[in-house]
Structure 1
């Protein structure tokens, strides 16, 4: 956080998500985040997205009703000097896993560029918002395996015995590098920050059938080309240090070549204001994961609540933030 008082013309705006009704989803995003989306199940909300499979829509300010894709095409300067190509690099989601997700793997950028028509690969970060008592995730393999072993295990339905299961609880953090075999388990509520990609190669899907009555497609050949078949160590929680400022505490979560993520604990009343502005280097995204507050700036204000997502352009106006809230703060 900073107290610089420079102002420019670039104002933050609220986003409305795209939504997905994948068969493993539940109802918590409507029940607890007040999404008001007419889907059942509601598995994912793509809160900040320019991906063609589900772009988010601006829900406040002068661009209200336009897709984020449209706005950034017209205003590439909102991305900042770090992104001179004008391409938005991220996709930010909420995920409600009422049932187990498929066991899957994502390609890296090089493979996706060559084999998937120039698309991005997919590395991602999971922040656990809530988890049932026995919730877990799959993170890599228990021991080194050969491709032949994994193919045989997929064919005879024994893949699960090779996978490393990791118990999870609220506020856990995991970074899933491209190539890591993984899955979110039932009972997990997740915030996901990832590359701007929707490439997923399924290895196992519990023999489930889709809406068409057919088993969902597996992508074994592609998965075998990108999967890391070496054993994975238990994912370690990083050392997380809170830095306190008047009205807020800032906790660094993770940094990679694609994004940098913090958790902000806001406890700011009118007599204890928190001010912030994004520099000219890159945009920011604020994903509220609890509580509520208000962002005020010259010429406007945005009240925000649990589940809301705010896009802050690079070189933004100075914002005054008040309220009692938690949010993930993402720098692209």
Structure 2
């Protein structure tokens, strides 16, 4: 290993109106405030909510400082960029999220003055029977009809309502109007950004009303960014057995991020090799994580960033963990799945398969 080591990061807790107490009481997350929490930002380089290293020689440094000082060691050989490119969150949708969208890259630069948009994916950890999500505009809905329905707050008239099941994942491109909840727990992975446009008459921070002029301005901007043709669907992921008692599931993959879920039985440790930084989040009971000469416990709903220079990790079973990362799509996703016998059409369903250059190793975000 280099001077870098597995990084424990500070977590930002967001007290938004749709949250509750499920992150602590159901996922077992510790160290968060004892009030309603909607989101915990586990790995973030978003201005105003930047994670910082909390232990070891780099304690106190922001994630931005680490990626600036150790770009190749953290992200992989040849990588360049000015910030950590992937954001991850646990989300407690005890209530329904507001209907909103995030700009894609082009709209973010043209309309928001931001360097990139915010494509995201939701992996469902828990969902009550009958839980649903709104995701994408119904086929045939025109821009005028969408605007009129949003003004009337008649969302089901124009947006697709999808069933939500634990274990499934949906890749949501920028520009897609969406919402999920209530009674849903989600692990979200996305581009590093906090841009968003809302279609609600209330503020998600405190539930206060949005005035008519502000609401109209919000809808104006949302309609300029909306993609009426984006209709993503949930998928169960693609499974690959890894030794006895270890399962690797590719949940989603595209140019901006990939997400995998690994499970190991008690008898078999989980071993994973990698060439780019891994955001390791624990979806199960506490586990022992080892890489090089480093070994520590990772508790329930806790997160580590494993630098690329670590190269591999071993996690003792039983284990149920998530790996999020910026992929080289051919090396990290397509290659293993094609070798396992999956056809290209199923691999493509994990997320955009074409135009992988933004997320390939050696390229900046």
**Which category describes the TM-score, using the shorter chain as reference length?**
0.7 to 0.9
Q: Which string of whole-angstrom CA distances, capped at 9 and with x for unpartnered residues, describes residues 250-293 of structure 1?
A: 11112100112211002355xx44444432xx211111111221
- Once residues 92 and 15 of structure 2 are traced to their aligned partners in structure 1, the CA distance between those partners, rounded to angstroms, is 10
Pairwise CA distance, 1:119: 3.0
Gaps of 5+ in 1: 1-6
Gaps of 5+ in 2: 327-365
- Summarize the Cα distance change of 1:65–1:284 in structure 2 as closer, same or farther, 3 Å threshold: same
Contact 1:138 1:185 in 2 (8 A): no
- Summarize the Cα distance change of 1:122–1:39 in structure 2 as closer, same or farther, 3 Å threshold: farther
- Summarize the Cα distance change of 1:249–1:197 in structure 2 as closer, same or farther, 3 Å threshold: same
Q: 1:84-233 alignment to 2 at 5 Å?
A: 84-205=80-201, 207=202, 211=206, 213-215=208-210, 218=215, 219-230=218-229, 232=231
Q: 1:63-78 alignment to 2 at 5 Å?
A: 63-77=58-72, 78=74
Bigger proportion of residues as helix? 2
Contact 1:248 1:268 in 2 (8 A): no
- Once residues 83 and 112 of structure 1 are traced to their aligned partners in structure 2, the CA distance between those partners, rounded to angstroms, is 23
Q: Which string of whole-angstrom CA distances, capped at 9 and with x for unpartnered residues, describes residues 186-245 of structure 1?
A: 11100000000111111235x568538433854211111111224837x15255223222
> Aligned-residue CA RMSD in angstroms?
2.3
Report the equivalent of 2:33: 38
Following superposition, which runs of at least 4 residues in structure 1 exceed 6 angstroms of deviation? none
Point out the more displaced range, 254-263 or 212-221: 212-221
- Summarize the Cα distance change of 1:72–1:285 in structure 2 as closer, same or farther, 3 Å threshold: same
What is the number of residues matched between the two proteins?
320
TM-score normalised to structure 2 length: 0.80
Pairwise CA distance, 1:158: 2.4
TM-score normalised to structure 1 length: 0.88
